[in-house]
Amino acid sequence: MLVVVCPGQGAQSPGMLAPWLEVPGVAPALHRAAEVTGVDLVRHGTTSDADTIRDTAVAQPLLVASALASLRAVLGAFEPTSGWTGATAGRLGGVGGHSVGELAALAISGVVSDDEALRLVAVRGAAMARAAAAGPTTGMSAVLGGDPQEVLAAIARHGLVAANVNGGGQVVAAGPLDRLAALAADPPAKARIIALQVAGAFHTDVMAPAVADLQAAADQVVPADPTTPLLSNADGELVSSGADALARVVAQVARPVRWDLCQQTMAEQGVTGLLEVAPGGVLTGLARRTLPGVETVALKSPADLDAARDLVLRHAAPTAKEQQ
C-alpha cells in the first residue's frame, strides 16, 4: 500500500526548480501554474533568493505547483489539464499534505482540479501574508526532541501555540518572535529549537482573517468526493466527502496541524511505501522515525525519479494494463 505525501511551507529552497525544468512535461506544467496563480513560479523556483521565497504569497504557490508537477513526472501523467483519476484512483492507499500541502493532496485525490488547487493556494498565500503583516511580527520554531509533555508545557508557558504536532519528536511552536526567542533561550530538557523559514504564526488565531478570504474563494469551487483516500490534518482521519475535505482545508489555516495523527492512520491502514513529492525530505524524515518498516522515497531532485517509480511499481496497486 502506497501513500503520497506533499510537504508544507518551510520545505522550499533557492533554486529548487532548476533541475526539474529539464524533465519532459515539467516546464509547461509550471508555466501554466504561473499563469493560474499570477506568481512567476519559474523565476522564484530558479533564481530568487531565500528571503524572496520565504514570502508566504510566493512560497505556497511554489510548493503546490512543485508537488503536482513532480508527481506527474513520476507517473507520466502530463496530458493537458488532465485530472488524476486515471493515474491514481485505486492505486494509492492514501494521499495527504502537510499544511499548504493539503491543497496539492486535494487535487491528487480528485476533490478539486489542479487549476482550482492553484487558484486556492494563491488566495491562501496572499491572505496569510496579509494576516501575518497586520499585527505584531510572528513566526514559528521547531522543537526537536525532549519529553513530549514537557515540550507542550514549555510552549504554553511562553505564551506560544503548538501549531504543528508532527510526531517523531517534533512540535512546532508559533507566536510572537520575542516569545519564540525566550523559548529558544530556555528550551525544554534534551530539546533543541530551530527557527523555521516562514513569515508568520501559521495555524493559530493570527491567521483568522485569512480563513474568510479562503472561504470566499472555496465557495466558487464545486468539490468532488475523493477517488483516493484523503488524510486530514485536523485529526488524521480519512475523509470521504469532497465538501468536508474542502471545508477542513479552509478551517485548517487557523487550526493546529496534527501530522502525528495522519501518520498514526497510515500505520493503522497498513501503508508499506511512502512517496514524498518535491521538494521532499521533511516528511520522509518524520516517517522514518514514526513508521518503522515503511519504505520511503523523497523527491529532492529529478535524480530521485527512478527510485520513486520503482517504489510506485512495488507498493501501489497495479493498473489494469500492468495486470495483463
User: Which of the following is catalytic: 99, 109, 141, 232?
Assistant: 99
C-alpha cell at 71: 508527481
- The beta strand positions in 9-137, using DSSP E, are 94-97
Q: Report the C-alpha gap between 91 and 44 in whole angstroms.
A: 33
From 44, 98, 158, 203, active-site residue: 203
pTM above 0.85, yes or no: yes
C-alpha cell at 29: 506544467
Sequence-separated (6 or more) residues with CB below 8 Å from residue 147: 188, 189, 190
Q: How far apart are CA 272 and CA 294, in angstroms?
A: 5
Tell which residue, 185, 142, 149, has the closest CA to residue 166: 142
CA distance 175 to 12: 21
Predicted confidence at residue 127, as pLDDT, reads 96
pLDDT of residue 80: 43
What does each of the 324 residues of the chain score in pLDDT, given as a tens digit? Answer: 999 999 999 899 999 999 999 999 999 999 999 999 999 999 999 999 999 999 999 999 999 999 999 999 998 865 544 566 556 767 899 999 999 999 999 999 999 999 999 999 999 999 999 999 987 889 999 999 999 999 999 999 999 999 999 998 999 999 999 999 999 999 999 999 999 878 789 999 999 999 999 999 999 999 999 999 999 999 999 999 999 999 999 999 999 999 999 999 999 999 999 999 999 999 999 999 999 999 999 999 999 999 999 999 999 887 545 554
Nearest C-alpha neighbor of 279 from the set 53, 38, 25: 53
User: Is position 203 annotated as part of the catalytic site?
Assistant: yes
Q: How far is CA 179 from CA 149, 160, 176, 273, 311, in A?
A: 19, 7, 5, 39, 43
**Is 82 noted as a catalytic residue in this protein?**
no
Which amino acid is located at 24 in the chain?
P
Contacts of 268 (CB under 8 A, 6+ apart): none
